[in-house]
Structure formats: structure tokens, C-alpha cells
Amino acid sequence: MTRISLYSIIEGLKGLRRAKFSASVSIFTIFISLIMIAIFLIFIFNVHLIISQIQSRLEIEIFIDNSLNQEQVELLNDNIRKIEGVEEVKYISKDEAAEIFRKQFGQDVFDILDENPLPASFRLKLTPQFRSSDKTRAIFDQILQMEGIDEILYRQDLLALLEKYMTFFLLIALVIGLLLSFSSIILVSNTIKLVIFSRRKIIDIMKLVGATRGFIRRPYIVEGVIQGGTGGILAAMFFWGVFKIVNLEIPGVIIFDQRLYILLIVIGIVFGYIGSIFAIRKFLKY
């Protein structure tokens, strides 16, 4: 570590001591902001996970014409499998459809009718990239053009509704995240401004003796980064404790990415850095 870097760190720490109250308020605000941002990130992550699980269970059911022979059914099966986005195709014969009916409704179809009216069908599962409503619709249209298709069932309305709510939650999270980020950056900036203002005479002397712009500015950047990093570490520790307690009491109730801890610290440092840059540009135009 060079002497200049060491000087910047020492002066940055001294600056925090000179403005203890405002620095504490700034760190606390970053801490609270990061907690709120993390809560929304965890919420969005879990909502996205639930929606993905629902989408993975949704199937396209294709009822085929009863007049098709076995060779035509196999050809249709092959053509469906060739469609981009189709992950799995399961053929359900008329007899299998009758057995499914019996299990679901507790009554044999032959107890009601003399012959099996249930058609044979294909059940399709799509790859994750093709589970959106528009891409599912495109696959639906391709299958509908094939000969021997009687009817196609899939929950387009449910897919569209899931996507609508997901977009809504993302927008809300984005707006709140931006507001919290802005407030954190402003508070860090104001804290640095107070320190710069209190040291304005010393800064003027440093300018007169030929101190470089970077030499004067660096301690205040360090100060902002320390504030942001401290807020990030506190937020990471908070969530570590919360997750530890919650998972002991109710295992698996909250699913989150372990990288959240690092992300909180990084975001805190970025907030501090940007806030200090704003303050420096305002008060240290030299």
C-alpha cells in the first residue's frame, strides 16, 4: 500500500469521526434502504420461482381425430416432437384416457356408455424458454395447422395473467429500489459535503501548496465507500441472522440466493462511492 493510499484511508476515517452523527445517519439510511431493496429482491425472486414452477406444470393437451390409424398417429407424434420448444410429448391412448377418467371421477366410463367416447391425445411440456404466453401461442398455431388435430387445450389466460403480475411486481420493485437508492446516495453526499465544508480552510491551504486534485479528493471518496460498505455489511449481517432464525423454525419457507450477502455489500459501496462523487463535484470543483 502506498503512502498516498494510506493517507487517504486515514483521512477518510478522520472525516467520519469529525461528522459522527451525520455519518451514522447516512450509514443507518443505507442499512435500511438495502434491507428494503433486499426484501423486494427476495420477494421478486420467490414470485418468479413460483410462477416458473406453475409454468413448468402447465401442459398443452392435443386431442386427435378418432379416424386416424396407428401410422398416422405416429407420424403426428414425430411432427409435434420436431417443433422448436417442445420438451416432452406423451401419447395417451383411448384406454389410458378411460383409466384417467376412472381415477379422477371414481367411475368407469363403460358404466355410463357402451363404448369409450374419450379421444386419444398428446400431452406436451415445453422448454423453459418457450413457456411464455406468446411463444406458447406460436406453438399452438403450428400444431393447429397439422392434419388430424381435433382440439387443443392450454391455459393461455393463466399464462398471460402470471406474466402480467410478474411485470407489475418488477415495476413496483424497480420504482421503490430507485427511490431508496436515490435517498441513500443523497445522504452520503450530504455527509461528505459537511466534512468538506468543515475542512475548507485546510483544503485551500493544500491547493496553495500544490496538492493535486486526486490527492485532495481521494479521502472523501474513501469516506463515502466506508459509509456505504458499512451499511452493506450491517444489512448482510441482518439478513444472515433473519434467515438463520427463520430456517430453523420453518425450513424452506424462504428461498434466496446466497450471493445476496455479497450483493448488499457491493450495492452499499456503490451508493457510498456515487454519493461521495456528487459531493466532491459540488464542493471541490478545483
Instruction: Name the residue range of residue 8's domain.
Output: 3-53+162-283
Contact 185, 271 (CB under 8 A): yes
Q: What is the tally of structural domains in the chain?
A: 2
Per-residue pLDDT band at 30 (split at 50, 70, 90): confident
Mean model confidence pLDDT for the chain:
78
pTM of the full predicted structure? 0.66
Whether residues 227 and 267 share a domain: the answer is yes
| pLDDT tens per residue, range 58-91 | 778 888 888 888 888 888 888 888 888 888 888 8
Whether residues 130 and 186 share a domain: the answer is no
Whether residues 188 and 272 share a domain: the answer is yes
How far is it, in rounded angstroms, from Cα 76 to Cα 149? 9
How far is it, in rounded angstroms, from Cα 215 to Cα 211? 6
pLDDT of residue 266: 93
